Amino acid sequence: MRKNSIYQADKDLNILFKSKNYDRSLGYIIEKDYSKIEAHLYDQYKTAHLVITDPEVPKWSVQKEFLKINGMDCQKAVTRYKGREWEAWFSKDYPISDGPYKFNGLPGLVVRVKDRDDNHIFNMVQVKKVHSIFNFVPKNNKKISDQEYRQLVKNEIFSPEDIESINIDRQTGKMGVQLKDGYVTQLDLGQIKKAGKGNEDAELARLLKKSNNPIEKENSK
């Protein structure tokens, strides 16, 4: 779930500014259509709501290795998916063929998955029954291809015009920033000032730029 979904719920930017920072590259929503065996990735580029449909699912190799994670009996599986080698631990205690992000297709719930280089790690925090997820899915989305989406992200250039609002708290030395794509974070004023006079905008752009370490390095087809 995205932080701007929380903002729409309580309209309190101060709460969001004080919340834990997260990578701008993690502002997406994943919706899975089990009947068609495909995933829909919703993301926001600048002010445009985008949706990318992906019919590709991981092809797993189940291993004879077992581990207990948070009291659950788990089994190991590996796959090469979207340009990375992945290691997953799934549990038949929850006979649901699903997991974080687009990781599904195993005979149990994926409770932990990471890439070989430890750049991306997903750990299950909680199992909770919800009645509906569709209130989190943006409306009026523009459908684009996976290739078009990758090109947008690759060529994105941050600009001060992407900022919706700034809230400066000089007592704590913090700067709260909300971008037009809904991303909200809190930055250290001291770190920005260290860049030197005339370089503050460049430092702000560096801090707010999306990471160049995507989950999907390439299409594995």
Q: What DSSP letter does each residue of 44-88 carry, written as one string?
A: EETTEEEEEEE------EEEEEEEEETTEEEEEEEEEETTEEEEE
Mean pLDDT across the stretch 15-25?
52
Distance CA 89, CA 87 (A): 7
pLDDT at residue 28 greater than cutoff 90: no
What pLDDT, on a 0 to 100 scale, did the predictor assign at position 143? 95
> Tens digit of pLDDT for each residue in 99-121?
999 999 999 999 999 999 999 99
Q: Which residues contact 206 (CB under 8 A, 6 or more apart)?
A: none
The whole-number pLDDT of residue 110 equals 97
What letter does residue 188 receive in the DSSP assignment? E
The pLDDT, as a whole number, for residue 212 is: 66
| pTM, to two decimals | 0.71
pLDDT at 138: 75
Cα 165 from Cα 4, distance rounded (Å): 13
CA distances from 84 to 52, 119, 149, 206, 213 (A): 20, 10, 19, 26, 11
Buried/exposed code over 10-20 (b: 16+ C-beta within 10 A; e: otherwise): eeeeeebbeee
- The single-letter code of the amino acid at 75 is Q
Q: Dig out the tokens for 20 from the structure.
A: 């834990």
Q: What pLDDT sits at residue 48?
A: 87
Rounded to an integer, the average pLDDT of 174-194 is 85
Instruction: Extract the tokens encoding 112.
Output: 């932990």
Helix (H, G, I), strand (E, B) or coil at 5: helix
The lowest-confidence range among 10-19, 62-71, 93-102 is 10-19
211 pLDDT band, cuts 50/70/90, is low
